[in-house]
Structure 1
Amino acid sequence: MTDQAGHDATTTRYGVADDLLLLLFQPASGTVSGENTLFYVLAGAVLTDLALEDAVAVDDRGARGTVVAAAGDTAPDDELLLPMWEYLADKSRGVQTALAAIGPRLREPVLDRLVARGDLRRERGRVLGFIPTETIELGDTGRREQLVAAVRATLVDGAEPTARTAALAALLSASGALPTLHREIPWGSAVATRAKELERGDFGADAAAQAVTRTMTAVVVNAVIAAGVVSGR
């Protein structure tokens, strides 16, 4: 897909899932934190992105639980958001059901988009002439550094976040990977406390207008934790 200027929308748009995967990437080791349960967290990021676009609705049905449904009549242009929107447009779904249905197909297209933009670099080769190998390195766009700085300002310096940064920090916390970023975002009790507030949707006054995003973030985080993504919480 291309925008009006002729740019490829799959590489120019920064989705929440893109930025979350980039934050979870560990430059020193070339690995992604929480690989075993990454699909839950990425799917949660997609739902959050749809909430930021007012393209999804949350319905608390009390004892029957919380369900999500597509909102609006226009499908999103982003190819990462479209499958989730179409899945929810078919009928309302439980959050965990939606995460499990869409999440397993997200890692590779998100990674491909990061590589296409230059945020990450991927080298493929073979060992012994036939065993395929893949090495991932941090690109030189500076995108990851910008994201780390924004999340660090929110969690460490007490800066008032945008709704998007608050949701991103909450998802990073829900993934259980926040302590692995200790060298970049110093881990401690104050950081843990603020991260928990964000998980509950307490974004602060500047993000008050994003009520759907706050609600969706809290719902997604609860679903991710309930699914057992983070053990021992």
Structure 2
Amino acid sequence: MTITLAEELALLSLDDGSGEARERRSASWAVAGGILLDLVLAGRVSVSGGRLTVTDESPTGEPLLDGRLALIAAWTGRRGRAPKVTEWLTKDQAEAPTATVARLCERGLVVEERRRVLGVFPVRRYPEADGSAERELRERLRAVVLDGADPDERTAGLIALVHGAGLHRLAFPGEPRKEVAARMEKAAEGQWAGEGVREAIRDMGAVMAAVTVATIVAATG
């Protein structure tokens, strides 16, 4: 089963048993970034100099991406110049995870559970229903980051987003963070994609890193 980068990032962040989202704030930015990077890889948008341009509004055939593409096209169309990537991610990071998890439910990879905390506060959890996609994802990440295999451009982009957002422990629980981070940075910076995609990956990774720093400062301030 081929799933989007955003769905892969969401699977990494959801606890398999409880369905609770871990490292929610950083993961939400990464999920929004995953959608954008998939649209870059599909040739629908471009990211250059930190700015976002829609280059092709035709559907990709993937509902999650096409829904976001329509929103981006309408949003950028109201602006006089190409907006910054950070502007779109700031706008979308609160909504993208909801749309992404809904798509995971449609695929049957997670199931929605509704309950009330203390009998009053409604919460939703998304425990794993089918672990095949996540197992394949983790095997692919492990092959590149820990075993040194060459990544394709999607995997390199995924690694850049995970690394930039500081989600190393979600991707590689139990592995030394410092060693994993160094290997992920090397993999993300390799020459695995065309220049336009590499520039997008660099920009997205920089955005994720900046967000991660801001999140840490806010949490400790």
* Shift, 1:147, TM fit: 0.5
Q: Counterparts of 1:229 and 1:28 in 2: how far apart (Å)?
A: 30
Identical residues among aligned pairs (%): 24
Inter-CA distance 137–59: structure 2 relative to 1 (3 Å threshold): closer
Tell me, which stretches of 5 or more residues in structure 2 are unaligned?
none
Q: Which has the higher contact order (CA 8 A, sep 6+)?
A: 2
Higher strand share: 1
| Cα pair distance change 1:33/1:183, threshold 3 Å | same
Structure 1 outlier segments of 4+, above 6 Å: none
Structure 1 unpaired stretches of 5+: 1-11, 61-65
Deviations, residues 106-154 of structure 1 (Å, cap 9, x unaligned): 1211111111211112222346765434332112251011111111111
Root-mean-square deviation over aligned CA pairs: 2.6
The change in CA–CA distance for 1:183 and 1:34 in structure 2 (over 3 A counts) is closer
Mean Cα deviation higher: 108-117 or 132-141: 132-141
Q: Which of 157, 162, 167 lines up with 2:152 in the alignment?
A: 162
TM-score computed with the length of structure 2 as normaliser? 0.82
1:44 corresponds to 2:29: no
Distance 1:134 1:47, change over 3 A: closer
Cα 1:187–1:80 change in 2 (3 A) is: farther
Indicate which of 48, 68, 73 corresponds to 1:80. Answer: 68
The structure-2 alpha-carbon separation of the partners of 1:198 and 1:70, relative to structure 1 and needing over 3 Å to count, comes to farther
Q: How does 1:127-142 map to 2 (within 5 A)?
A: 131-142=121-132
Q: Which amino acid aligns with 1:43?
A: A
* 1:176 counterpart = 2:160: no
Task: Kindly provide the amino acid, as one letter, of the partner of residue 44 in structure 2.
Answer: A
Aligned-residue offset at 1:165: 0.9
Higher mean displacement: 145-154 or 82-91 = 82-91
Q: Is the 8 Å Cα contact of residues 172 and 178 (structure 1) preserved in structure 2?
A: yes
The count of residues paired between Structure 1 and Structure 2 equals: 210
Q: 8 Å contact 1:68–1:94 — kept in the other structure?
A: yes
Question: Which structure is higher in helix share?
Answer: 2
Q: Quick one: which of 36, 42, 58 aligns to 2:47? A: 58
Q: Who is 2:53 aligned against?
A: 69
Contact 2:57 2:69 (C-alpha < 8 Å) held by counterparts: no
